[in-house]
């Protein structure tokens, strides 16, 4: 079964108004176009392109895909956040159910009992924060905040206290919690850090974030994190417990089908500091770029350590046709450049142009991609 699917862009406030229209050649809505979801997730299920009243999940008789594929366009920073592992998700979901917290409540941390690993592949230059810096980098950062004579005595006292906290056992965890618990009392600190951007480029990000979220603890937390720039085609994988935030750019994102997010700043939404502390991994972690393994000419796999999703990238031209691919399980194909013809072994065929997608059921064991362009193929090793 091949079904051409589509969806409307989600208009989250952080979404870009131009990235999706400019890249995919679609009409702008005049509102932020943050994400387009291709999957069965109830938050925004994909629909059939020739019958938008029919969802993909209804065609699958209610069966849920274990992954969600998205186009993501960040015009402004997303929240600093982390996701639980499977055990944490199951325990947290059961605990909040027992406490009688409604699933739709804004104070809810766990909306299901699953983990949420994810990966972003850049389509344009993509800016992100991911993982904590090394101990030396954080000490150097704090010491550099103490050096300028222009800052106030009160500011220096707070930063000196942070440096003392960090140099004690479990310093990163305790520094993080101290900053987070100052929420609502950081206006002056953030303002002085913003002024430091006039003296050193390492504070430019903090100045930019403080314009959007003045006084937010995430402005300081961001300085403790690795600042990453992806070139088109590069990807990072974000496992459970990894602190991260997307700052800007267009990408293809794939994740396990979960809604569990613990936020840690740069957001007006609910933040549960205690639960976030339980989920976070407080260790230096500069995530390497995801390895891309060439399977055959024109087909690469993004290598990740989980089974919830598998992502491939196909590059086609007149000389490269991917014939009789045997990718088990239900799959979604998303065309991001050019024009791709997709057919299967039971003689079904659709043509995908930029920004268009199709679902491939596992009833036809093999399918073929032809044409000239780029496509991402998402599937899962889970039954």
Please state the domain extents for the chain. 134-223, 292-379
CA dihedral for 221, 230, 303, 113, sign (positive or negative):
positive
| Residues of the chain below pLDDT 70 | 383
pLDDT value, residue 345: 82
* DSSP-derived secondary structure for 191-250: HHHHHHTTT-GGGHHHHHHHHHSTT-THHHHHHTEEEEEEPTT-EEEE-TT--EEEEEEE
Residue 73: the pLDDT is 98
pLDDT digits (tens, 9 = 90+) for 138-197: 999 999 999 998 899 999 999 999 999 999 999 999 999 999 999 989 999 999 999 999
Largest CA distance in the chain: 75
Query: Residue 163: helix, strand or coil by DSSP?
Result: helix
**What SS3 class is residue 189?**
helix
pLDDT of 383 reads: 58
> How far apart are alpha carbons 335 and 374 in whole angstroms?
6
- Beta bridge partners, 367, equal 325, 344
Asked if 299 and 322 touch (Cβ cutoff 8 Å), the reply is yes
Interhelix angle 187-196/204-212, nearest 10 degrees: 140
Out of 111, 263, 300, 313, pick the active-site residue: 263
Residue 263 appears among annotated catalytic residues: yes
How far apart are the C-alpha atoms of 343 and 351, rounded to whole Å? 9
Residue with tokens 């310093």: 171
Nearest to 57 by CA among 44, 40, 37, 69: 40
Nearest-5° Cα angle at 181, 175 to 187: 100
With CA atoms as reference, report the closest residue to 309 among 331, 324, 333: 331
pTM of the model: 0.94
- The CB density around residue 314, as the number of other CB atoms within 10 Å, is 21
CATH number for the domain running over 292-379: 2.60.120.10
């Amino acid at each position: 079964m091949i079904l051409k699917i589509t969806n409307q862009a989600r208009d989250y406030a952080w979404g870009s108004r131009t990235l999706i229209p400019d890249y995919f050649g679609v009409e702008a809505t005049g509102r932020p176009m943050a994400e387009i979801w291709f999957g069965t997730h109830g938050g925004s299920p994909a629909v059939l392109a020739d019958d938008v009243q029919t969802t993909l999940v209804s065609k699958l008789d209610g069966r849920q895909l274990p992954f969600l594929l998205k186009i993501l366009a960040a015009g402004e920073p997303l929240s600093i956040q982390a996701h639980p592992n499977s055990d944490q998700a199951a325990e947290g979901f059961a605990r909040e159910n027992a406490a009688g917290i409604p699933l739709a409540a804004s104070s809810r941390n766990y909306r299901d009992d699953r983990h949420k690993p994810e990966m972003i592949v850049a389509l344009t230059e993509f800016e992100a924060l991911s993982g904590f810096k090394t101990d030396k980098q954080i000490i150097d950062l704090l010491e550099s905040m103490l050096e300028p004579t222009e800052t106030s005595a009160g500011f220096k006292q707070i930063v000196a206290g942070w440096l003392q906290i960090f140099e004690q056992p479990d310093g990163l965890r305790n520094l993080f919690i101290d900053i987070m618990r100052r929420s609502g009392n950081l206006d002056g600190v953030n303002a002085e850090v913003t002024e430091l951007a006039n003296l050193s480029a390492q504070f430019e990000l903090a100045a930019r974030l403080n314009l959007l979220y003045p006084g937010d603890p995430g402005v300081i937390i961001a300085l403790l994190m690795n600042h990453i720039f992806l070139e088109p085609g590069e990807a990072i994988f974000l496992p459970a417990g990894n602190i991260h935030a997307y700052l800007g750019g267009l990408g293809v994102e794939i994740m396990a089908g979960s809604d569990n997010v613990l936020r840690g700043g740069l957001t007006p939404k609910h933040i549960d500091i205690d639960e976030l502390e339980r989920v976070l991994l407080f260790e230096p972690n500069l995530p390497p770029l995801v390895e891309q393994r060439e399977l055959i000419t024109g087909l690469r796999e993004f290598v990740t350590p989980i089974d919830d999703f598998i992502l491939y990238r196909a590059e086609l031209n007149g000389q490269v046709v991917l014939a009789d691919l045997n990718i088990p399980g239900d799959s979604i194909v998303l065309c991001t450049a050019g024009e791709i013809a997709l057919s299967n072994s039971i003689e079904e065929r659709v043509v995908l142009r930029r920004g268009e997608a199709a679902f491939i059921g596992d009833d036809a064991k093999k399918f073929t991609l032809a044409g000239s362009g780029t496509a991402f193929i998402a599937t899962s090793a889970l039954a």
